[in-house]
A and B are shown apart, each in its own frame.
Chain A
Amino acid sequence: MNDVLLSVQELWVSYGNIKAIHGISFDVHEGEIVTLIGANGAGKSSTLRAISGLIPYTGKILYKGQELRKISADKIVGMGIAQVPEGRGIFGNLTVLENLKLATWQRKDKPEIARDFERVFGIFPRLQERRNQLGGTLSGGEQQMLAVARALMSRGKMVLLDEPSMGLAPVLVREIFRIIGEINQSGTTVLLVEQNANMALRAANRGYVLETGNITLSGTGAELLGNPRVKEAYLGG
């Protein structure tokens, strides 16, 4: 197995007196797709927000062996962890091109940026067609593609995806998952948070089940798909 890229150890997150995450630990290895599945409010988004440095936490998060706690959110992006946030977070008042350019803020490698624009437009030809349109005028599916494209533009070595299938028609969900697979094939490590457990576990190498802030099950994607408890609770029996 490849090296551990991200290691979450004894992570606790609370909002005021409410504990959202109760000391969870998991690892993501280089080149993997790992998924966290669980119901609404299980703590999936909080986990990703903690990794990206958006919320305070206790415990350790190590990326390439380096502790992230003291590092600001923008620098964490510069280290290679990109997040596609829940609800996509497209800037509706910026054009598609500007949305993509903004994501290159931490990068200084101009020729590489130009090459990545070509690569991203190769993956998402729709975005190239609409590059001068405002983000707010895109459809839900196009916005999701733009959100993923931004993560690629920031040169994420690791991409955290928060509910990429949310609110999308089934055909678009399949398209998004196909693209996630493609990105992973080209060397990007993926940590995927999903309520759509079926799609997520099929795509993932490994998965963890999160229930009210605790990891209750873990295993390979196939193992979890076959697990009776997972079937009952997340795959509709």
Chain B
Amino acid sequence: MTTFLQQTLNALQLGSIYALIALGYTMVYGILTMINFAHGDLFMIGAFFCFLGATFLNLPFIPSLLLSMVGVAMLGVTIERVAYRPLRSAPRVSAIITALGVGIFLENFTLVFFPYPQSVPTLLKTVIWNIGGVTISNLQILIIVVAILMMIMLDVIVQKTKVGMAMRAISWDKSVVPLMGVPLDLIISITFALGTSLGATAGTLYAIAFPVIDPYMGILVGWKAFIAAVVGGIGNIRGAMIGGFILGIVEIMVAAFMPSTYRDFVAFGVLLILLIFRPYGILGKPRPQKV
């Protein structure tokens, strides 16, 4: 029982990181029906921004997090403006190839400056509590709380604000949105800023939990979060959160109760089986035909 509780806590920690990244994929897909395959690498850049802030500017945790969010949001908005916007009416495959290219560019650009893995200085002193045999660290609590706060904030923005209303309208039919007087490009930029800053948050939290970072760290994590977004129902924000937590739970439970080399094999197997039964994802719906 204690093992189970312990692993549940670990699963929540990992799942909240996946969920934050998955949100970035799903938001961009929701408004542009395009997979931003550079998103995993923006997560990596987020970790590096946190590292830079902590190492060279001696910033504590919250300012490092904010630096990372702002830096990555600006980068994300720039990438959309320079690389994706000119391709908005081009065939989907061109945009996807461009996104993959942007990802490889970001990895190698980082590699120029940091050819070796870097260790992130301790931003927060670890405190470990032992409650009935379950060890809980303050970092775990922090990661889960920050992630959940971000998700609540995003949900409020999307459901309750005017900008969020415009985002939802774009996801339904972006061709009509300008006729409402809504500046389409501005809303798309805001969406990129929000999605990528959540990715940066994930990168920062990840760097705190696993403080050795390298330019390729975003690839596998990015793919996993993408699959989590698809399992939740790509384009659906709550779906991305659920998908992220499911992936975290499956991974941790497999590693806990089976040989750890089975982890990705079983995790991805479960997700593929889920997709057979729910091809649009858990909360995804087949798009109704437009009349």
Contact = CB atoms under 8 A, between A and B. Distances in A.
Say whether A and B bind each other. yes
Interface in A45-101: 52-54, 72-74, 77-78, 82-83, 85, 87, 89, 91-94, 98, 101
19 contacts: A52-B179, A53-B178, A72-B178, A73-B184, A74-B178, A74-B180, A74-B181, A85-B179, A89-B179, A91-B176, A92-B288, A93-B172, A94-B169, A98-B168, A102-B162, A103-B181, A105-B166, A107-B181, A154-B181
Interface in B235-291: 288, 290-291
Given A91-B169, A102-B165, 14 more contacts: A53-B178, A72-B178, A87-B290, A91-B176, A93-B169, A94-B169, A98-B165, A98-B168, A101-B165, A102-B169, A102-B180, A103-B181, A105-B162, A105-B166
A208 B197 CA distance: 53
A136 B166 CA distance: 16
A83 to B, nearest CB: 5
A94 B162 CA distance: 12
A106 B181 CA distance: 6
B155 interface: no
Contacts of B291: 87, 140, 167
Interface string A157-170: 00000000001000
B150 interface: no
- The range of chain A's interface size is 20 to 34
Contacts of B169: 91, 93-94, 102
B180 A94 contact: no
Interface in A102-132: 102-107
B86 to A, nearest CB: 15
A72 B177 CA distance: 12
Contacts of A94: 165, 168-169, 172
Contacts of B171: 93
Contact of A89 (B165, B176, B182, B288): B176
B168 A77 contact: no
B184 A93 contact: no
Interface in A161-193: 167
Q: Which of B175, B178, B179, B291 has the most CB of A within 10 A?
A: B179
Interface residues of B, number: 20
Interface string B162-195: 1001101101110110111111100000000000
A102 B166 contact: yes
Nearest to B290: A87
Contact of A105 (B168, B172, B182): B182
Nearest to B176: A89
Contacts of A107: 181
Given A54-B178, A105-B162, A93 B168 contact: yes
Given A101-B162, A105-B166, A92 B172 contact: yes
B181 A78 contact: yes
Contact of B179 (A82, A98, A136): A82
B179 A83 contact: yes
A150 interface: yes
